[in-house]
Amino acid sequence: MADSDVTRIARRVMELVLRHQRKGDRTGTCAQLPCPACRDAHLARVERYVAAGEPVRFVLPAFPGKSPNTAKVLGVLPDMAERLALEFLGGLTARIREVYAPGAEILICSDGRVFGDAVGIADAHITAYQDELRRLIAALPRPGGIGLFTLEDVPELAGLGHDRRREVLAERWAEPLEQLRKRVRAGEDVALYRAMTRFLFEDGNTPAYTGSRAALQRDARARAYTVMQRSKAWGDLLAERFPGAVRLSIHPQPCGADKLGIHLVATPDNWLTPWHSVALDTGDGDWVLVKRADAERRGARPVRVAGRTSHYALAAAPVLPAA
Ligand SMILES: [Zn+2]
């Protein structure tokens, strides 16, 4: 294949992904969407796969486990919110196959085991979440192009317990917490730190919590640093294990960053994800992610599928009789 064809195909692949780009919300935001600078930041990686005639591999750290906050989610297992996100990713690989026959592989690198202790998700719940995620991925139309990789799949951590795996991850791949704090204080990753602190504060602020708001805020800040430290360690481990892969992210990213932030399902909140929300059938053919309490406040009714609640639905707009 001529070099110009490789570049042309790689650009088309990236443009399909960039249609779903998650806009950054502070400094370093893209001037236009889809953004040519963000496309070009990943082009060389895509070109290498295309030149070799191999599927383009994307690595997406995501799908950790459901938030422990039942005002946001339905329970501990993946539900319609995850199903929509997986169907979206499967659809994206299908669209990539139309412009590049070898297609793409999106490797979901579930990170719940990496920081579950810091966000308050029990290991048993993470196991159940991952098992159900595997079932949902297996049920996608073939060839799905979606894979799942977890902390348990890291050969260097084989045979260890969950706590020990997290310790070794931190020892071998993490940057010291003090260094991370220093970077955030200097203005790096501030949007991520604030969003993380907000999520952890909200998730801890349950009716069962009896302490002060200030103490909860302090605790949320400390845990936000741990989550960021482990997430970054996970990202570095993945970069080592899957060199050459295009790195996707579910968070907004600065323009031209080495990670590309994408949306999995439409959401009114730029930071909302399927595991912090429920799927809401708007009644006019659209789906949107909202917090569970918001769906209930809007009068949506819970819909059961296969014996458990899967999502919420608003009543369809009444059909007017023909004049
Ligand atoms: Zn950009």
Q: What confidence tens digit (pLDDT) does each residue in 211-241 have?
A: 999 999 999 999 999 999 999 999 999 999 9
Distance from the CA of 40 to the center of ligand 1, in angstroms? 9
pLDDT band at 319 (very low <50, low <70, confident <90, very high): low
How big is the chain by its Cα radius of gyration, in Å? 20
Q: What is the pLDDT of residue 2?
A: 87
Residues whose Cβ atom is located within 5 A of ion ligand 1: 30, 35, 37-38, 255
Distance from the CA of 24 to the center of ligand 1, in angstroms? 9
Q: What is the pLDDT of residue 26?
A: 57
Using H for helix, E for strand and C for coil, what is the string for the chain? CCHHHHHHHHHHHHHHHHCCECCCCCCCCCCCCCCHHHHHHHHHHHHHHHHHCCCEEEEEEECCCCCCCCCCCCCCCCCHHHHHHHHHHHHHHHHHHHHCCCCEEEEEEECHHHHHHHHCCCHHHHHHHHHHHHHHHHCCCCCCCEEEECHHHCHHHCCCCHHHHHHHHHHHHCCCHHHHHHHHHCCCCHHHHHHHHHHHHHHHCCCCCCCCHHHHHHHHHHHHHHHHHHHHHHHHHHHHHCCCCEEEECCCCCCCCCEEEECCCCCCCCCCCHHHCEEEECCCCCEEEECHHHHHHCCCEEEEECCEEEEEECCCCCCCCCC
Nearest to 45 by CA among 62, 37, 33, 57: 57
Mean pLDDT of the chain: 93
**pLDDT higher at 264 or 207:** 264
Look at the alpha carbons of 169, 180, 252, 50 in this order and tell me if their dihedral is positive or negative.
negative
CB atoms within 10 A of CB 297: 10
Distance from the CA of 27 to the center of ligand 1, in angstroms? 11
Query: Which of these ranges, 19-28, 67-76, 262-271, has the smallest mean pLDDT?
Result: 19-28
pTM of the model: 0.91
Question: Model confidence over 274-290: pLDDT tens digits?
Answer: 999 999 999 888 899 99
Residue 16 in this model has a pLDDT that exceeds 60: yes
Distance from the CA of 259 to the center of ligand 1, in angstroms? 11
Distance from the CA of 227 to the center of ligand 1, in angstroms? 26
Distance from the CA of 29 to the center of ligand 1, in angstroms? 7
Residue 145 in this model has a pLDDT that exceeds 70: yes
Residue 35 to residue 53: CA distance in whole angstroms: 26
Distance from the CA of 183 to the center of ligand 1, in angstroms? 22
Distance from the CA of 22 to the center of ligand 1, in angstroms? 10
Q: What is the pLDDT of residue 32?
A: 81
Q: What is the pLDDT of residue 203?
A: 86
Query: Which of these ranges, 23-32, 44-53, 176-185, 210-219, has the smallest mean pLDDT?
Result: 23-32
Residue 113 in this model has a pLDDT that exceeds 80: yes
Q: What is the pLDDT of residue 30?
A: 86
Distance from the CA of 30 to the center of ligand 1, in angstroms? 4
Distance from the CA of 34 to the center of ligand 1, in angstroms? 8
- Mean pLDDT for 202-211 is 86
- Mean pLDDT for 242-267 is 91
Q: What is the pLDDT of residue 175?
A: 95
Distance from the CA of 93 to the center of ligand 1, in angstroms? 22
Calculate what percentage of the chain has a pLDDT beyond 90. 79
Q: What is the pLDDT of residue 266?
A: 77
Residue 62 in this model has a pLDDT that exceeds 80: yes
Residue 168 in this model has a pLDDT that exceeds 90: yes
Distance from the CA of 18 to the center of ligand 1, in angstroms? 10
- Mean pLDDT for 17-37 is 80
Distance from the CA of 261 to the center of ligand 1, in angstroms? 10
Q: What is the pLDDT of residue 208?
A: 83
Residue 7 in this model has a pLDDT that exceeds 70: yes
Q: What is the pLDDT of residue 1?
A: 82
Structure tokens at 269: 């909140």
**pLDDT higher at 322 or 2:** 2
Distance from the CA of 252 to the center of ligand 1, in angstroms? 11
Contacts of 177 (CB under 8 A, 6+ apart): 225, 226, 229
Which residue, chain included where needed, has tokens 């929300």? Answer: 277
Question: Model confidence over 93-104: pLDDT tens digits?
Answer: 999 999 999 999
Query: Which of these ranges, 189-203, 229-243, 295-309, has the smallest mean pLDDT?
Result: 189-203
Residue 218 to residue 215: CA distance in whole angstroms: 5
Distance from the CA of 31 to the center of ligand 1, in angstroms? 7
Contacts of 80 (CB under 8 A, 6+ apart): 278, 279, 287, 305, 310, 311
Q: Which long-range contacts (CB under 8 A, 24 or more apart) does 1-7 make?
A: 1/50, 1/51, 1/53, 6/47, 6/50, 6/51, 7/43, 7/47
